[in-house]
């Protein structure tokens, strides 16, 4: 009988182990300027967010029917260097938490678990409470260790292409972290076991929190099965919403690949509020507690938001991002999705990483959450570049003519050249 390698870990301030060095600059970016690096916490896992040290003061944009300027700080001054982006990103994150998603808690006091060739176990303790969950692992051919893509949910993602590209698939049921119920009335799952069913944080952040704990476990493993420094995330439909938010709130994710995420996902919130046939904000907020409780104040007034999803794309920048959309289902708001991608690409361009964002909505098959040939090559190239460190970032932008948004109608700001 073949032996199955299992690695164990303990992520706690009391007993940090040495970690393999993690790249400080994502693949495909030559330099981000001083200060834009990944650190290591006292518990031995990499920082989820590189702007934790930034002082985020009061202020921010007032009500605006168009997209807020992602390059203007809370104090009204504009970002001028790539190094400035770290703390501007911290401001965006705080606004996004306070108005759209709810807060993602700091790393828990303790995370323990195991990594095997078939699965991952996670045990979390924080503030006197504990929770446990697991995920399955599917390895590609070869000897490894392998980078890994966390797949939220069990449908609508091309796991064959992921594995054929040389990455492992981690299948994670996000409902174990945050379960859906009837409308916004029920919040339950591992996240809420720790932080309370009355938490104002929505399911999308709870799902991302679960992925972050899986990454904690892998980072503290011996790296013999899964690489400790190379992670992606994907999912379709509501799980595409989750993948989008997960990638924004954890900088250890090198490649984010949301599929047909719709309202509460990548499409601009200001846009879906007016796009014919798109899921209304009231539905995106009320169908399930995907978004944080605070968003209720903006359901009928998205112009009052200090951020929009182009800014959330900026939280991902300059890491790898591949947005996949379906123009054939009006409910998904693909026109607003194209505006988000176009505006977000401006942030990538300012950071000198234009090719690190790809977007494809020009697809023939209109079936929701289908695997599409148009997405295969950009996905392969993205995995090769951002998870395996080979080849070039695809930088593909193919917008369906039927759902092509006009960025000029949505912005009054210009894109700076950051030094």
Q: Which helix (H) or strand (E) holds 147?
A: strand 146-152
Mean predicted lDDT score pLDDT of the chain = 90
Determine the average pLDDT of the residues in 163-168: 98
The model scores a pTM over 0.75: yes
- Does the annotation mark 95 as catalytic? no
pLDDT, tens digit (0-9, with 9 covering 90-100), for 37-54 = 344 444 557 889 988 889
pLDDT, tens digit (0-9, with 9 covering 90-100), for 187-239 = 999 999 999 999 999 999 999 999 999 999 999 999 999 999 999 999 999 99
pLDDT of residue 155: 84
pLDDT of residue 338: 98
Determine the average pLDDT of the residues in 122-139: 97
What is the residue-wise DSSP string for 307-375? --HHHHHHHHTTSEEEEE--TT-GGG-HHHHHHHHHHHHHHHHHTT-GGGEEEE---S--STT---HHH
Overall size of the chain counted in residues: 419
Annotated active-site residue in 8, 136, 328, 368: 368
pLDDT of residue 44: 57
Listed in sequence order, the residues at least 6 apart from 15 whose beta carbon sits closer than 8 Å to its beta carbon are: none
- For residue 380, the SS3 value is helix
pLDDT of residue 43: 53
In angstroms, the CA 17 to CA 159 distance is 32
Displacement of CA 47 from its chain's centroid (Å): 15
In angstroms, the CA 104 to CA 312 distance is 14
In angstroms, the CA 34 to CA 31 distance is 9
In angstroms, the CA 397 to CA 279 distance is 24
For the chain, the domains span 35-409
- The confidence band for 110, taking pLDDT boundaries of 50, 70 and 90, is very high
pLDDT of residue 27: 38
pLDDT, tens digit (0-9, with 9 covering 90-100), for 299-333 = 999 999 999 999 999 999 999 999 999 999 999 99
The answer to whether 233 and 172 are in contact (CB under 8 A) is no
pLDDT of residue 10: 40
What is the residue-wise DSSP string for 193-251? HHH-TT----HHHHHHHHHHHHHHHHHTS-SSSEEEEEEEEEEETHHHHHHHHHHHH-T
- Residue 219 structure tokens: 């980072």
Q: Does the domain formed by 35-409 have CATH 3.40.50.1820?
A: yes
In angstroms, the CA 304 to CA 184 distance is 22
- For residue 303, the SS3 value is helix
pLDDT over threshold 80, residue 134: yes
Share of the chain above pLDDT 70, in %: 89
The answer to whether 277 and 76 are in contact (CB under 8 A) is no
- Does the annotation mark 368 as catalytic? yes
Annotated active-site residue in 237, 338, 358, 361: 237
């Amino acid at each position: 009988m073949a032996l199955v390698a299992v690695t164990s870990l303990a992520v706690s301030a009391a007993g940090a182990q040495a970690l393999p060095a993690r790249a400080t600059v994502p693949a495909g970016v030559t330099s981000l300027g001083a200060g834009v690096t990944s650190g290591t916490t006292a518990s031995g896992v990499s920082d989820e967010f590189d702007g934790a040290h930034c002082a985020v003061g009061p202020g921010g944009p007032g009500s605006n029917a168009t997209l807020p300027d992602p390059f203007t700080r809370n104090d009204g001054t504009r970002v001028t260097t790539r190094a400035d982006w770290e703390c501007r990103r911290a401001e965006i994150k705080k606004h996004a938490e306070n108005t759209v998603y709810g807060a993602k808690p700091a790393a828990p006091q303790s995370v323990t678990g195991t990594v095997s060739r078939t699965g991952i176990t996670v045990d979390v303790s924080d503030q006197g409470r504990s929770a446990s969950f697991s995920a399955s692992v599917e390895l590609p051919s070869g000897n490894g260790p392998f980078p890994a893509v966390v797949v939220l949910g069990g449908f609508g993602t091309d796991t064959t292409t992921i594995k054929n590209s040389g990455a492992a698939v981690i299948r994670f049921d996000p409902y174990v972290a945050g379960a859906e119920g009837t409308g916004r009335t029920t919040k339950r799952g591992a996240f809420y076991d720790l932080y309370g069913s009355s938490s104002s944080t929505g399911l999308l952040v709870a799902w991302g929190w679960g992925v972050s704990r899986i990454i904690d476990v892998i980072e503290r493993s011996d790296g013999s099965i899964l690489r400790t420094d190379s992670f992606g995330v994907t999912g379709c439909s509501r799980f595409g919403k989750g993948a989008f938010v997960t990638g924004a709130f954890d900088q250890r994710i090198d490649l984010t690949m949301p599929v047909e995420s719709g309202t509460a996902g990548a499409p601009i919130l200001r846009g879906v509020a007016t796009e014919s046939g798109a899921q209304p904000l009231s539905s995106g907020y009320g169908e399930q507690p995907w978004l944080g409780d605070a968003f209720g104040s903006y359901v009928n007034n998205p112009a009052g938001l200090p951020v929009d999803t182009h800014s959330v794309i900026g939280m991902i920048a300059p890491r790898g991002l591949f947005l996949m959309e379906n123009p054939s289902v009006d409910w998904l708001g693909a026109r607003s999705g194209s505006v988000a991608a176009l505006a977000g690409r401006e942030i990538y361009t300012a950071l000198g990483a234009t090719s690190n964002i790809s977007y494809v909505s020009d697809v023939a098959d209109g079936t929701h959450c289908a695997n599409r040939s148009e997405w295969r090559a950009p996905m392969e190239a993205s995995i090769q570049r951002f998870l395996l460190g080979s080849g070039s970032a695809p930088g593909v932008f193919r917008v369906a003519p039927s759902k092509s948004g006009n960025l000029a109608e949505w912005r009054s700001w210009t894109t700076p050249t950051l030094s």
